Amino acid sequence: MRLPAQLLKRKPDTHKGSYGHVLVLGGSTGLTGAVCLCANSALKMGAGLVTAGVPVSLNSIFEIKLTEVMTLPLADYEGGLCLESFSRIEEFLPKVDVLVIGPGASVGPNTQKLMVKIIEQVDKPVVADADAITALAANLDALGRKKTKEIILTPHLGEFSRLIDLDKNQINKKRKELVKDFALRYNLTLVLKGNRTLVSDGKNIFENKTGNPGLATAGTGDVLSGMIAGLLAQGLSVYEAAKYGVYLHGLAGDLAVKEKTQNCLIASDIINYLPKAMKK
């Protein structure tokens, strides 16, 4: 697969603002790593700027863990983002091109309300992952009220099962049909993660053939969400960003596994092997 020309060579007269600003919203007590993996992968994928919107009580942790990524401390409740932080997020939005919501965000009711409110009221491209998908599974009608026209959902099989209320065996019998129907019904792009990940915008469907079982490890989904957001920030359409993000994610995993082995592969290895994947 050939990458879009804009990803292969940059114009000389550019600056960091030319490549978009990604805001990652998530993190909670015990789950700070998810935001870090997501934010770092967005930056590695080529986004010019990345900010992590995180609970104020945990901000010092992120300040230590993140070097190139900026932080936006937000109001929190019991170690997770809360609905009260929405006004600060709204103030920050003019600086942002793309949002990622959900990595490590927790399933607390206050956090879940914030995830739903962002989908209903923010008119920016959104990548919804992890705990944001859990929030949607309990509030699926929010997708009918979404303000953004550019949204990507990245569920794994278990999360997709909750979204459409079918068990995993039923889904596996007609994966392509169900993914395409869901994307069409809710006017979004869906990434169903797993062996031969599927990407659909309701019209087109892409079945990915890169990747290996070594990717079945904590944090790889957070890396994928960040990669997709980084591509969106650089001007790719939602479907293109999802498709190329999935392909490069698997390819980086395939290159990494040659040295790391399937058992020893971890999520941050994917980020480190992205340059080789881009070159290949």
In the prediction, which pLDDT does 246 show? 98
pTM over 0.85: yes
Residue tagged 């990747």 (tokens): 211
In the prediction, which pLDDT does 206 show? 98
The span from the CA of 197 to the CA of 122, in Å, is 28
In the prediction, which pLDDT does 52 show? 98
Q: By the 8 A CB rule, do 133 and 221 touch?
A: no
Show pLDDT as tens, one digit a residue, over the chain (280 residues): 888 888 888 889 999 999 999 999 999 999 999 999 999 999 999 999 999 999 999 999 999 999 999 999 999 999 999 999 999 999 999 999 999 999 999 999 999 999 999 999 999 999 999 999 999 999 999 999 999 999 999 999 999 999 999 999 999 999 999 999 999 999 999 999 999 999 999 999 999 999 999 999 999 999 999 999 999 999 999 999 999 999 999 999 999 999 999 999 999 999 999 999 999 8
Q: What is the DSSP letter of 3?
A: P
Residue tagged 């590695």 (tokens): 44
Domains of the chain: 18-279 (3.40.1190.20)
On the 0-12 / 13-18 / 19+ scale of CB atoms within 10 A, 65 is middle
Bridging pattern class, strands 198-200 and 189-192 = antiparallel
**Strand, helix or coil for residue 216:** coil
In the prediction, which pLDDT does 11 show? 87
